[in-house]
Structure 1
Amino acid sequence: MRSFLKEEISNRQRIKIFFFALFIFSFFPSFAQKHKEKEKKTTLFDEIELLKKDDDFKHVTWGICVVKTDNDSTIAEYNSEVSMIPASTMKVITTAPALSLLGKDFRFKTLIQYTGNIDKTGTLHGNIYIKGGGDPTLGAYRFDKTTTVDYILKQWMDGIFQAGINKIDGAIIGDASIFEDELIAPNWLYADIGNYYGAGACGLDICENAFTVYFEPSKNEGDSAKIVRIDPDVPNMEVINKVTVSGPSKEGTGVYINGTPYSNLRIFEGKIPLNKKEEFEIYGSQPDPSLTCTYLFDKFLKSECVEISQKPTTIRLLKMKNQLVDTLKRKTIFTTNSPTLEEIVYQTNLRSLNVYAEHLLKMMGYIVNNEGGTYSGIKAVRNFWSSRGVDLSGFLMEDGSGLSPMNNVTPRHLTEMLRVFTKDATFTSFYNSLPIGGKTGSISNILKGSAADNNLRAKSGYMYGVRSFTGYVKNKKKEQLAFSIIINNYECKAAEIKKKFEKLMIKIAELD
């Protein structure tokens, strides 16, 4: 009897379980469908539509343009004809024509020259000139040792010795006249120009026209930060140091340098983090790069026991003081060649070097229009792109680097420029200069593990309220696409915009 009851109860339980399972599975198809929809991958077009409705994009101006490079077909666009501030993506507009107009093997040249005569004792009765050739790499550490300060100064000294000169009855004079005296673009912001990234383009440069300030390890919160040294030794620079030490947290730290070209005053303001072991470094723009270069060479020669009767100066300073400029014929005794333009453009786009881009712009002005100035260079660049069939309506160029907030470019401008440049003989050099997604430059830490990783090549741009990306990527069919994305006037965190644009770039790479 007990076994019968147990069997009956067991059967009832089985029936209950069966109907319960039937009930659950009756809802499973709709549940599975919803789950599948949730997992459904979005496309580029979906992401564009989502951004149109994004609360962070409510009060911004933004646009995107994606084109095939083998024809003029547009894959995707939104506000592609709206002019916006491009920030550092302006550098692609400058570096591409520089390669084409000057040639990838072009080298800047700096000449060591002298005037007067050399007597039997080895005394030069005249002046030594450093004739600048607009080389932005003079004294730079980014290349091999041949561009470093000590190497260059020793080469120049050896050139003087080989000419039979061991004493100078005259001066070391810097000649930066290949470029205009105006170092920076007219509408750069005051807040930028005292800092290293606001260093302008001079006809005679040294150390990328910047200097490094080293603060000693900071011990106590609230202390005044003490300067250990400034490198290179900038002549006549007056420093007002208002920098203090913050707490252990790095939040709220940052040092800014105020100052203008040709003004010797530099004001350091801000806070450095508390650190009892390591020096803290900040970087500023030199007041007068030509004078710094001349001064450093004068100092180097004197350290090697070469007597020089007069103080180092420049052509610009002599003219300002109405002093007689030596008009005697100069003899060249040594030439310093820069790295190739291909190498310079690579560093310009990889490291987003404003000072290099501005030098390239002025050099194009000098070569094309016989005038080494910002607007002469802009004229050369505009003519280059318009001659390639790019419609420049709505295009406003105020510098070569993108630091000016007055630049205006549409996403269409950038993609069209990238598209037409694929036919240029120097395209490979330009393409290789662009940072690689997930690997190098400013996009090394994004796009990892995606279809854009080690595929997408792009220049990024960033300034307050501005974020941009422009470059090339191959789709699933291995077709090359050119793209540009720009946003202005956003208020959310820059990291949020970067994340949203990263998703767009991945979706471009995933296109069929």
Structure 2
Amino acid sequence: MRRPRSFALALTAALLAAVPTADLATTAAAQEDPLARDLGAILADPGFRGADVGLVVRRADTGEPVFGSGGARRGQPASNGKLLSSAAVLDVLGPDHRFSTTVSASGALRGGVLAGDLHLRGTGDPTVLAADYDALAAKVAGSGVRLVLGRLVGDDTWFDSVRLGTGWAWDDEPYYYNAQISALTVSPDTDYDAGTVVVRIAPGAAGAPATVTTEPPTDYVTIDSTAVTGPAGSASSVSVERRRGTNVISVRGSVPAGGAAESEWSTVEEPTGLVTSLFRDALSRHGVRVLGGTSTGATPAGARPLGEHLSMPLSRLLVPFMKLSNNMHAEILVKSAGRAAFGEGSWDAGLRAVSAKLGGLGVDAAALSLRDGSGLSRMNQVSPDQVASLLLAARGRPWFPVWYDSLPVAGASDRMVGGTLRNRMRGTPAEGNAHAKTGSLTGVSALSGYVTTAAGTPLVFSMISNNTLTSARRLEDAVVVRLAGDRDGQAPPPTTATARTEGPVDVECSWVKAC
């Protein structure tokens, strides 16, 4: 039976009303625009079957929408959350912000004897190395102190005592991308992996125990090793894992005889304790003996400064932070923003400071949920529309050039240029062109940033995928390569070969040091 025309019109209207306006525009555009057609085809890939995927593309110069599908739907952003936190923190702290670490004395100093305590105070600097604490110890010795009758007091009160973020997985705690946050911390390397030590496993003779050391050298952690040296040419099977709630690091497996030493990174329990242990050792090397024990507490107002270490400015820290997607940098900066804005170095205060700045960055803070600064929390909720709006608004901020330069660059092999995109989109129009932030958790992938088309049109894009069963990187790269190669809508659809993706696919590239 033929339906009345009025019924068909009503049914069509009802169906259209059920489709989001942005997606309607995309559907209509796809009928005429090859770019929209090709992007739609990528989103329809079987790899996204059952997943929740949002993609937004806008002109960077005008803000004009180019493509939108599911852009208003919120999802877990993974490390794309660092785009929001870093931009807001730059507004709060400024690109010239530096962290200070100081040592001071309480009590009288006579004849090289300090009748009081030494106080080591941190403000969250993630770039302090063991060598920097050694230099501070030398300043103590240079001030004439030879004997401290009191204690060595670690002052980490610039931040609160909450070490781990809301919604972080407990079974990630041993691994360096999930380190504890303290205002008094130390990094073992110039990636500035604060709150960790490097565990090195060197082979001996075949069949002999492997030699295990730490960087920096310390007895703050205990190595429990059964690692052995395997035959020359055998495969390495080393595993390193800190026992939860302790500083006992278990080392298992084997390394091949004649091979290079293996390096693994491990978090520590209570980074403040690691710092005071290293500083006490450094004082001893410089001839300063501390008779009292080691404790924690606030530095007295009248304490006399003996030395200070200043970090690089935030504008420089942005490079290892964003290129390598360093989670701990994000959280330290969030707590620092809380301290600057509200006098409280906590996640709560820091996220309030971030939210207060997001409105000026084109983002409605009431329409998202941020529980940390790094994206580790499974409780974060952000939409591609919001990220794209941030990318547009950031272009008008005075700090934009350093922020833009801190983003990973597709296919750039230099680790501090390409970052987490250095093995992606090589040999495509996106290589050296796309500047974007990656993000991955199990079942979550994101890629958002800037790219210029072959026709010279600057674009911003944000793609967030949740509930995926396989890696979304191949399809993310296909989107960006298609955008980069676009000539006013005219370009061949991307292929697997064109949008080549290399490196590990189940975690953030920066979370695998060999990546």
Give the drift of 1:161: 2.8
Q: Which ranges in structure 1 are unaligned for 5 or more consecutive residues?
A: 1-41, 140-148, 316-324
What is the alpha-carbon distance in structure 2 between the residues aligned to residue 80 and residue 326 of structure 1?
49
Matched residue of 1:127: which SS? strand
Give the drift of 1:74: 1.3
1:167 aligns with 2:147: yes
Q: 1:466 aligns with which of 431, 444, 450?
A: 444
User: Are the aligned partners of 2:121 and 2:299 in contact in 1 as well (CA < 8 Å)?
Assistant: no
1:507 aligns with 2:491: no
1:288 aligns with 2:270: yes
What is the alpha-carbon distance in structure 1 between the residues aligned to residue 45 and residue 256 of structure 2?
40
User: Are the aligned partners of 2:242 and 2:267 in contact in 1 as well (CA < 8 Å)?
Assistant: no
Match of 1:203 in 2: 183
Match of 2:116 in 1: 126
1:277 aligns with 2:250: no
After superposition, what is the alpha-carbon deviation per residue over 1:225-262, rounded to whole angstroms, capped at 9, x for unaligned? 745212224454345557688997869x57352445xx
Q: Which amino acid aligns with 1:305?
A: G
Give the drift of 1:305: 2.8
Matched residue of 1:407: which SS? coil
1:457 aligns with 2:448: no
Please report the TM-score for the alignment, with normalisation by the length of structure 1: 0.80
User: Are the aligned partners of 1:213 and 1:227 in contact in 2 as well (CA < 8 Å)?
Assistant: no
What is the alpha-carbon distance in structure 2 between the residues aligned to residue 183 and residue 257 of structure 1?
19
User: Are the aligned partners of 1:195 and 1:256 in contact in 2 as well (CA < 8 Å)?
Assistant: no
What is the alpha-carbon distance in structure 2 between the residues aligned to residue 70 and residue 326 of structure 1?
50
Superposed, 1:344-493 pairs within 5 Å as: 344-439=317-412, 440-492=418-470
Match of 1:301 in 2: 283
What is the alpha-carbon distance in structure 2 between the residues aligned to residue 177 and residue 384 of structure 1?
25
Q: Which amino acid aligns with 2:124?
A: G
Matched residue of 2:241: which SS? strand
Larger proportion of helix: 1
Q: Which amino acid aligns with 1:134?
A: G
Q: Which amino acid aligns with 2:263?
A: E
1:110 aligns with 2:101: yes
Q: 2:46 aligns with which of 43, 55, 71?
A: 55
Matched residue of 2:365: which SS? coil
Give the drift of 1:108: 0.7
After superposition, what is the alpha-carbon deviation per residue over 1:483-503, rounded to whole angstroms, capped at 9, x for unaligned? 1112122223x3xx3222111
Match of 2:294 in 1: 312
User: Are the aligned partners of 2:203 and 2:228 in contact in 1 as well (CA < 8 Å)?
Assistant: no
1:89 aligns with 2:100: no
Q: Which amino acid aligns with 2:200?
A: Y
Q: Which amino acid aligns with 1:75?
A: V
Matched residue of 2:75: which SS? coil
User: Are the aligned partners of 1:224 and 1:242 in contact in 2 as well (CA < 8 Å)?
Assistant: no
Q: Taking structure 1 as reference, are residues 488 and 243 closer, same or farther at Cα in structure 2, changes over 3 Å only?
A: farther
Q: Taking structure 1 as reference, are residues 483 and 254 closer, same or farther at Cα in structure 2, changes over 3 Å only?
A: farther
Deviates more, 1:165-174 or 1:45-54: 45-54
1:338 aligns with 2:316: no
Q: Which amino acid aligns with 1:124?
A: L
What is the alpha-carbon distance in structure 1 between the residues aligned to residue 209 and residue 382 of structure 2?
42
Q: Which amino acid aligns with 2:315?
A: E
Q: Which amino acid aligns with 1:237?
A: V
Q: Taking structure 1 as reference, are residues 52 and 337 closer, same or farther at Cα in structure 2, changes over 3 Å only?
A: closer
Match of 1:35 in 2: none
What is the alpha-carbon distance in structure 1 between the residues aligned to residue 373 and residue 421 of structure 2?
21
Match of 2:494 in 1: none
Match of 2:239 in 1: 255
User: Are the aligned partners of 1:213 and 1:229 in contact in 2 as well (CA < 8 Å)?
Assistant: yes
Give the drift of 1:265: 3.9
What is the alpha-carbon distance in structure 2 between the residues aligned to residue 326 and residue 464 of structure 1?
43
Q: Taking structure 1 as reference, are residues 479 and 279 closer, same or farther at Cα in structure 2, changes over 3 Å only?
A: same
Match of 2:473 in 1: 498
Match of 1:80 in 2: 71
Matched residue of 1:290: which SS? helix
Give the drift of 1:201: 2.1
Give the drift of 1:154: 3.6
Once the two structures are aligned, what percentage of the paired residues are identical?
24
User: Are the aligned partners of 1:195 and 1:284 in contact in 2 as well (CA < 8 Å)?
Assistant: yes
Match of 1:185 in 2: 165
Matched residue of 2:120: which SS? strand
Please report the TM-score for the alignment, with normalisation by the length of structure 2: 0.80
What is the alpha-carbon distance in structure 2 between the residues aligned to residue 91 and residue 225 of structure 1?
42
Q: Which amino acid aligns with 2:89?
A: A
Give the drift of 1:388: 3.4
Match of 1:318 in 2: none
What is the RMSD of the two structures over their aligned residues, measured on CA atoms? 2.5
After superposition, what is the alpha-carbon deviation per residue over 1:319-354, rounded to whole angstroms, capped at 9, x for unaligned? xxxxxx875721112111100100111110011111
User: Are the aligned partners of 1:187 and 1:404 in contact in 2 as well (CA < 8 Å)?
Assistant: yes
Q: Which amino acid aligns with 2:376?
A: L
Q: Which amino acid aligns with 1:289?
A: P
What is the alpha-carbon distance in structure 1 between the residues aligned to residue 229 and residue 367 of structure 2?
47
Match of 1:13 in 2: none
Deviates more, 1:234-243 or 1:180-189: 234-243
Give the drift of 1:136: 0.8
What is the alpha-carbon distance in structure 2 between the residues aligned to residue 417 and residue 379 of structure 1?
17
Q: Taking structure 1 as reference, are residues 360 and 79 closer, same or farther at Cα in structure 2, changes over 3 Å only?
A: same
Give the drift of 1:188: 0.8
Aligned residues: 443
Q: Taking structure 1 as reference, are residues 52 and 476 closer, same or farther at Cα in structure 2, changes over 3 Å only?
A: closer
Q: Which amino acid aligns with 2:196?
A: A
What is the alpha-carbon distance in structure 1 between the residues aligned to residue 372 and residue 134 of structure 2?
35
1:228 aligns with 2:203: no
Q: Which amino acid aligns with 2:284?
A: K
After superposition, what is the alpha-carbon deviation per residue over 1:24-63, rounded to whole angstroms, capped at 9, x for unaligned? xxxxxxxxxxxxxxxxxx9542333223432221121111
Matched residue of 2:473: which SS? helix
Match of 2:507 in 1: none
Give the drift of 1:408: 1.5
Q: Taking structure 1 as reference, are residues 158 and 53 closer, same or farther at Cα in structure 2, changes over 3 Å only?
A: closer
Q: Taking structure 1 as reference, are residues 454 and 268 closer, same or farther at Cα in structure 2, changes over 3 Å only?
A: same
Q: Which amino acid aligns with 1:228?
A: V
Give the drift of 1:287: 1.0
Q: Which amino acid aligns with 2:215?
A: D
Matched residue of 2:356: which SS? helix
Q: Which ranges in structure 2 are unaligned for 5 or more consecutive residues?
A: 1-32, 188-193, 413-417, 489-515
User: Are the aligned partners of 2:368 and 2:382 in contact in 1 as well (CA < 8 Å)?
Assistant: yes
Deviates more, 1:399-408 or 1:67-76: 67-76
After superposition, what is the alpha-carbon deviation per residue over 1:280-335, rounded to whole angstroms, capped at 9, x for unaligned? 111111211112111111111212332211122322xxxxxxxxx87572111211
What is the alpha-carbon distance in structure 2 between the residues aligned to residue 487 and residue 245 of structure 1?
43
1:138 aligns with 2:105: no
Matched residue of 1:215: which SS? strand
User: Are the aligned partners of 1:67 and 1:75 in contact in 2 as well (CA < 8 Å)?
Assistant: yes
After superposition, what is the alpha-carbon deviation per residue over 1:170-190, rounded to whole angstroms, capped at 9, x for unaligned? 122110000011111032111
Q: Taking structure 1 as reference, are residues 373 and 163 closer, same or farther at Cα in structure 2, changes over 3 Å only?
A: same
